[in-house]
Amino acid sequence: MWKYWSSFTDVIFTNPAATDTVKDDHEKQQQDSYVGSNDENIDRGNWTNKREYMLSMIGYAVGLGNVWRFPYLAYKNGGGAFLIPYVIMLAVAGIPLFFLESSFGQFCSQGPVNVWRALPIFQGVGVAMVLVSTLVGIYYNVIIAYSLYYMFASFQSPLPWSDCFYWSNSNCSLTPREVCNNTLAANWSEPVIVANMTLWENETCPKENIISIPVQSPSEQYWDLVALQRSSGLDETGPVVWHLALCLLLGWLLIAAALYKGIKSSGKVVYFTATFPYVVLLILLIRGVTLEGARDGIEFYIGSQSNLTKLSEAEVWRDAATQIFYSLSVAWGGVTALSSYNKFHNNVFKDALTVCLTNCGTSVFAGFAIFSILGHMAHVYGKPVSEVAQAGFGLAFIAYPDALSKLPISPLWSILFFFMLLTLGLDSQFAGIEVISTCLQDAFPERFKSKRSIISVGTCAILFLLGLPCVTQAGIYWVTLMDQFCAGFVLLIAALLELVGVFYFYGGNRFIKDIEMMIGTRSSLFWLWWRACWFFITPAVITVILVWSLLTFRPPSYGTVQYPAWGVALGWCMIAFCLIWIPLVAIWKILCAQGNPWQRMCAVCSPVEGWGPYLEVHRGGRYTDGQRYYRKNSLHLPDNNVYHISNHLTRL
Q: What does the DSSP assignment read for 237-298?
A: ---B-HHHHHHHHHHHHHHHHHTTTTHHHHHHHHHHHTTHHHHHHHHHHHHHHTSTTHHHHH
Tally the C-alpha atoms within 13 A of residue 304's C-alpha that lie toward its C-beta. Answer: 2
640 is in an annotated binding site: no
Q: 6 among the known binding-site residues?
A: no
Strand partners, 561: 558
User: Does 163 appear as a known binding residue?
Assistant: no
Residue 202 gets the label, from left (phi > 0), alpha (psi -120 to 50) or beta, of left
Q: How many angstroms separate the CA atoms of 40 and 188, rounded?
A: 86
Strands 561-562 and 192-194: unpaired
Q: 360 with 320: CB under 8 angstroms?
A: no
> What is the DSSP-derived secondary structure letter of residue 558?
E
Name the phi and psi angles at 192, rounded to 5. -125, 130
Consult the annotation and say whether 509 binds a ligand: no
Residue 532: count of CB within 10 angstroms of its CB: 13
* 454 sits in which H/E element: helix 452-466
Fill in the DSSP letter of residue 634: B
CA atoms within 13 Å, Cβ hemisphere of 323: 32
424 is in an annotated binding site: yes
CB 605 within 8 A of CB 616: no
Beta strand 192-194 pairing with 557-558: unpaired
Q: Answer positive or negative: Cα dihedral of 101, 104, 109, 114.
A: negative
Find out whether 532 is annotated in a ligand binding site.
no
Structural contact between residues 156 and 411, judged by C-beta atoms closer than 8 angstroms: yes
Helix (H, G, I), strand (E, B) or coil at 173: coil
Of 379, 469, 353, give the one whose Cα is nearest residue 96: 353
Judge residue 529's burial from the number of C-beta atoms within 10 Å of its C-beta, 0-12 exposed, 13-18 middle, 19 or more buried. Answer: middle
Asked if residue 62 belongs to a known ligand binding site, the reply is: yes
Residue 181 in marked binding region: no
Number of C-alpha atoms within 13 angstroms, CB side, residue 391?
A: 13
Asked if the bond preceding 158 is cis, omega within 30° of 0, the reply is yes
| Cβ-Cβ contacts under 8 Å for 492 (sequence gap 6 or more) | 325, 331, 542, 545, 546, 549
* 625 neighbors 141 (Cβ within 8 angstroms): no
Is 450 annotated in a binding site? The answer is: no
Number of helical (H) and strand (E) elements in the chain, helices listed first: 29, 5
Q: Which residues of 561-586 are buried (b: 16+ CB within 10 A; e: fewer)?
A: eebeeebbebbeebbeebbebbeebb
Residue 580: its H or E element = none
- Binding site for Na(+), residues? 59, 61-62, 66, 327, 359, 424, 427-428
- Binding site, residues? 59, 61-62, 66, 327, 359, 424, 427-428
